[in-house]
Amino acid sequence: MGIGGCGMSGLARMLQSMGIHISGSDPVSSPITEGLRAEGIPVRTNQDGAGLPDDLDLMIISAAIAPDHPEVLAAEQRGVRIRTYAEGLGMVQHGRTALCIAGTHGKSTTAAMLCHILMTCGFDPGFIIGANCDQIGGGSRIGASRIPPGGPLADDPGILVSEACEFNRSFHNHRPTIALINNIEEDHLDIYGSLESIIEAFREFALMIPPAEEGGSLLISHDEAHRHQITPPLECHVATFGFHPEADYQVVWDQAVRRTGILRDGMWTVQWTNPMAGAHNALNAAAAVILAHQLGAEWEDAADAMATFEGLDRRTQRLGERVVGDGHVTVYDDYGHHPTEIERTLKALRAEEQPERLICVFQPHQHSRTRFLLEQFAESFDQADHVIVPPIYFVRDSEAEKQRVSAVDLVQRLQDRGTEARHVDSFDGIVHLLREDLVAGDLLVVMGAGPVWTVARDYLDRRA
């Protein structure tokens, strides 16, 4: 159920490749569901519960499916086993080298970078990533057991790269062999309640990694992942990375030329020109290069591959330019929906593009997240000259939570900090405003995890 999502569709393909008969449902047809149908996986849009297969053994549901959904209730009445997406992914990870990418930010980007490096270096990884990356063939790939001979995984049954999401502790259902913890911050406080509980959840995830003698390994941020609370009880191999000189792998980044390098014991290991802007993406890329090397890729080969990475959808994605007067407006689209992501992305884009003005359209994602992190959100837009805020994207929260905070509250906090901001209650209204107000030399950044991405594309529509 929810088979049209990036993760769910990838999981369906992998289960089909294992000889399991798969069907699915999703309320809306899309290129993803049409692609599944073309591969022999039936997908229905009717979710009233009457269309479930007669010989159903197992139902796997996405995180967006409510417990009282008609299809879930119909399956329960028939005694069908029901598992979450995370539990299904854990099933597929069994018997493979499961490389799990965890952290509050950067999971999709780092996973896509790693898969591009592995594929370029002759590996054949399977992967499930929550974003589309044309360069590696989309958001999922079945993969096989073809691993270059001579390396540490020469006889391995196959690599499976996936994101390990902390929402609702779902990553506790994974079976990691190798893991990355990129960073840990306050998020999903409606689930956890405190940063301490989040750190504890990540510690429990890390404890699932097997001992070093069984191939278990963790790469963890030296500076941003509360490693002193995560690593002491671990029996797996542990290495740290980051800008700090005491990290096992010290990352060096030159913003002016996007040059990224890794030092080990004070000695240069490898350098490359990073395709994606920002210090945060330098760290993501370094983690991907280190992990690829741990899997058997040569340092130089991994770095050369990283230098050719072209990015992925909605991650600091440069969509193009719209001609305005004697110049143009440059447009970026980004998935950022957490204060730290917003701050780092806007800072990187201002340094990269050096615009006359930076205008950001930001759609908050979830009322609970907006309420818990309202002050942090207000601070995160200091790099913007003007912020436009549509209504908060309502997902997963209760109706009571919806009444406790609104987009106007964020606008007010921004104005209190001296940032020009306004609330516009429709995407059409925002596009109209942008076409009226933006001038040559402006940079438009559209951000958020909801459907706000349509604003950037509609603004760029040459027919309008």
Mean pLDDT by 10 residues, the chain (464 residues): 89 88 92 92 90 92 89 94 94 90 94 96 89 84 59 68 92 95 92 94 97 94 95 96 97 91 94 91 97 95 96 90 93 92 92 94 93 92 95 86 92 94 95 95 94 94 64
> Which domain range does residue 51 map to?
6-84
- The reply to whether 70 falls in a domain is yes
148 and 30 share one domain: no
- The reply to whether 403 falls in a domain is yes
118 and 24 share one domain: no
230 and 367 share one domain: no
367 and 343 share one domain: yes
Residue 270, C-beta contacts closer than 8 angstroms, at least 6 positions apart = 261, 262, 289, 299, 300, 302, 303
119 and 239 share one domain: yes
Residue 98, C-beta contacts closer than 8 angstroms, at least 6 positions apart = 160, 162, 174, 175, 176, 177, 178
d(C-alpha 453, C-alpha 334), whole Å: 8
Domain of 25, CATH number, reads 3.40.50.720
- The reply to whether 135 falls in a domain is yes
109 and 16 share one domain: no
pLDDT for the residue numbered 450: 87
151 and 185 share one domain: yes
pLDDT for the residue numbered 141: 75
59 and 99 share one domain: no
Q: Which of 84, 104, 126 is the last residue of a domain?
A: 84
Q: What angle is formed at CA 378 by the lines to CA 376 and CA 383, rounded to 5 degrees?
A: 105
pLDDT for the residue numbered 149: 52
282 and 333 share one domain: no
pLDDT for the residue numbered 445: 97
222 and 176 share one domain: yes
- The reply to whether 89 falls in a domain is no
DSSP 289: H
Can you list the alpha helix ranges (DSSP code H) found in 94-151?
107-120
pLDDT for the residue numbered 147: 53
Run of H or E including 444 = strand 442-447
pLDDT for the residue numbered 154: 54
- The reply to whether 442 falls in a domain is yes
Run of H or E including 415 = helix 407-416
- The reply to whether 420 falls in a domain is yes
d(C-alpha 422, C-alpha 435), whole Å: 16
78 and 107 share one domain: no
326 and 436 share one domain: yes
Number of domains in the chain: 3
pLDDT for the residue numbered 130: 83
- The reply to whether 311 falls in a domain is no
Domain of 439, CATH number, reads 3.90.190.20
Run of H or E including 35 = helix 31-38
Domain of 153, CATH number, reads 3.40.1190.10
Q: Which of 28, 54, 84 is the last residue of a domain?
A: 84
Q: Which of 61, 84, 107 is the last residue of a domain?
A: 84
Can you list the alpha helix ranges (DSSP code H) found in 78-154?
85-93, 107-120
- The reply to whether 312 falls in a domain is no
d(C-alpha 139, C-alpha 353), whole Å: 28
